[in-house]
């Protein structure tokens, strides 16, 4: 939860219409979809997949679970040491641009 306050409640990520900045949810949010079996068909994905997650992200388990269900040899899970999920929004020295470039060059031919 620390990264929530380090981002949405500071000038770095604050916006007056942001749910995160205001601390509330609205009736049109996608929260109800969280109960969907979203990973049910992930083993059928044949396209290349690169999952990038911060080591300290509260949702890191989701990428790890998704990765465990993927098949094939064109899948990769990249955990960024010391990063939260919001660090990957705008911290240019943390975002793995070199890895993203190499992955796209290899698989988007």
Over 80: is that where the pLDDT of 58 sits?
yes
C-alpha dist (Å) from residue 45 to 50, 70, 74: 12, 7, 10
Residue 82, token pair as written in the block: 């010391």
Spatial distance between the Cα atoms of 15 and 24, rounded to a whole number of angstroms: 13
Nearest 10 degrees: Cα torsion 17, 20, 24, 26: 60
pLDDT class of 68 with cuts at 50, 70, 90:
very high
Q: How far apart are CA 109 and CA 22, in angstroms?
A: 42
Banded model confidence at residue 11, pLDDT cuts 50, 70, 90: confident
For residue 8, give the H/E element and its range.
Answer: none
């Amino acid at each position: 939860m620390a990264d929530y306050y380090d981002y949405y409640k500071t000038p770095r990520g604050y916006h007056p219409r942001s749910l995160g900045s205001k601390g509330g949810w609205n009736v049109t949010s996608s929260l109800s979809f969280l109960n969907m079996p979203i990973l049910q068909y992930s083993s059928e994905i044949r396209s290349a997949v690169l999952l990038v997650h911060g080591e300290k992200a509260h949702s890191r388990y989701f990428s790890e679970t998704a990765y465990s269900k993927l098949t094939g040899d064109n899948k990769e899970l990249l955990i960024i040491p010391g990063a939260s999920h919001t660090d990957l929004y705008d911290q240019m020295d943390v975002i793995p641009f070199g890895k993203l470039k190499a992955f796209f060059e290899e698989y988007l031919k």
